[in-house]
Amino acid sequence: MITWQSVLETKRFIETDGAAEAVHRCFERIKQNDFNSFITLNIEDALSMAERASGGRLCGVPIAIKDNISTRGIQTTCASKILTGYIPPYNATVIERLKREGAVIIGKTNMDEFAMGTSTETSYYGAVENPWDAGCVPGGSSGGSATALAGGEVPLALGSDTGGSVRCPASFCGVVGLKPTYGAVSRYGLISYANSLEQIGPMATTVADTALLFNIVAGYDQRDSTSVNKQFDTTEPLDMKGMKIGVPEEYFGEGMSSVVEKAVWNAVHSFEDLGVEYKEVSMPHTKYSLAAYYIIAMSEASSNLARFDGLRYGYHAEEGDCHTSFSKTRAEGFGDEVKRRILLGSYALSAGYHDKYYLKSLKVRTLVKKDFEAAFKTYDMLLAPTMPYPAFKLGEKIKDPLSLYLADVNTVPINLAGVPAVSVPCGFENKLPIGLQLIGNFFDEKTILQAAHNFENSTDFHNRRPGGE
């Protein structure tokens, strides 16, 4: 059975066997794996697209799309009951750009409901299994996209990252995931969870493929008011000799696995071998990031999710008058975690508490951003663990929301600041992948991607596959 590992290998297969056969093999692999990585498979349309593929940088190459990115004609649910049967009448900007380059959309991947989670266990369509260990979580919220890559189902995938939702599953599944600078990739067509934090992010099994996908989807979009008018090209090689790297002390805190810490420091020394100088740096406001992030994210979620009433699309509970029906629709349509965040966000925004919680969190966000700005005056990039530990067991933390929130301690500061970060494999603990996070200055995706590429070429972690494939 073919297992897709890179775009180059996929293109070679397409040259000899054709794009339609490549797509057919994807669906065979998905069926064989049964990781529950997809919510909706786009079988007929994908085969038709493959047969018509005739040009572009991704001509005939299969790609998986997270189920909170709008795809015209393909059900888009955000893994929630409340959007059951919703078929968008338009494509997200990133989908339009992918289609122009000849990519073939295989289907919509499973995720934490409305991207709220760290384990892809809150999905209405069931939990996703990690290909390295079916008893472990794949990370979240883009767990389906990461699993599809690690399981060899597709060579490329899109996720979204609000507080680590691309980088966490990339770390847990041993693949590459980029959270771009806020404004680098259009958010038009991304179903909003927290507007000021989220970005669509490319995922792949190699850094080169991640960079290629970023170059395709990035760039200005007049339909997105948060989009920045910049051109991106991350392909030019980077000479790392003389570069300075900062290692934030606060990212090695309580609860971190000693094996993860050792693997990350080994990676730092690997960069030394590439000619890089490093020094530990303090980012003092990191300790406030998690609390500030969750207040801001939940507040924005409570506002964004108010639009889901069951009257225009999706699930609708037929009962009594419109007020009763509205309440019942949302009570039945949203899962526990989504309802928890709506309630907490509504509380933080309520009269008498807005200044105490939400406004104070925005002030903390500014301080976190200033920490990064100060660090990048001296250092070209920062290195840190992506996650404090490898993938945990399914069901281990889902009943304890606070422990799940704490897992995001190393990823949420990046979203608060709006800077880019990429997670790459850097080791293993008990045969489960460990992720290294390379954090860059605003709109400097090139530096972190090229540095990650150089690290990848000097190690073999990216070549390992679940089951020894």
CB atoms within 10 A of CB 230: 12
Coil, strand or helix at 123: coil
Coil, strand or helix at 74: coil
Per the residue annotation, which of 80, 119, 123, 141 is the catalytic one? 141
Residue 360 annotated to the active site: no
Residue 299 annotated to the active site: no
Query: Which stretches of the chain score pLDDT less than 50?
Result: 469
Contact at 8 Å (CB) between 283 and 417? Answer: no
Work out the end-to-end distance of the chain between its first and last CA atoms, rounded to an integer number of angstroms. 11
For residue 2, the model assigns a pLDDT of: 63
Residue 202 forms beta bridges with which residues?
158
Residue 458 annotated to the active site: no
For residue 446, the model assigns a pLDDT of: 97
Residue 341: partners with Cβ closer than 8 Å, 6 or more residues away: 116, 297, 298, 301, 302
Residue 440: partners with Cβ closer than 8 Å, 6 or more residues away: 181, 381, 382, 419, 420, 421, 447, 448
Question: How far, in Å, CA of 9 to CA of 418, rounded?
Answer: 34
Per the residue annotation, which of 66, 179, 397, 446 is the catalytic one? 66
Contact at 8 Å (CB) between 432 and 393? Answer: no
Per the residue annotation, which of 160, 165, 227, 302 is the catalytic one? 165
For residue 287, the model assigns a pLDDT of: 96
Whether domain 1-469 has CATH 3.90.1150.10: no
Q: Which two tokens stand for residue 173?
A: 């599944």
Rg of the chain over Cα atoms, rounded to whole angstroms, equals 21
Q: Which two tokens stand for residue 154?
A: 């597709």
- DSSP class per residue in 91-111: --HHHHHHHHTT-EEEEEE--
- DSSP class per residue in 305-347: GGG--SSSSS-----SSHHHHHHHHHHHHS-HHHHHHHHHHHH
How many Cα atoms are found within 13 Å in the side-chain-facing hemisphere of 325?
A: 12
Residue 141: partners with Cβ closer than 8 Å, 6 or more residues away: 111, 112, 115, 116, 117, 118, 120, 159, 160, 162, 165, 169
Question: How far, in Å, CA of 208 to CA of 450, rounded?
Answer: 8
CB atoms within 10 A of CB 225: 10
Cis peptide, bond prior to residue 192, ω within 30 of zero: no
Q: Which two tokens stand for residue 2?
A: 């073919």
Report pTM: 0.97
For residue 223, the model assigns a pLDDT of: 97
Q: Which two tokens stand for residue 368?
A: 């976190």
For residue 469, the model assigns a pLDDT of: 47
C-alpha distance from residue 147 to each of 138, 171, 178, 223 (Å): 7, 11, 16, 31
Residue 457: partners with Cβ closer than 8 Å, 6 or more residues away: none
Q: Report pLDDT digits (tens) over 209-257.
A: 999 999 999 999 999 999 999 989 888 888 899 999 999 999 999 899 9
Map out the domains of the chain as residue ranges.
1-469
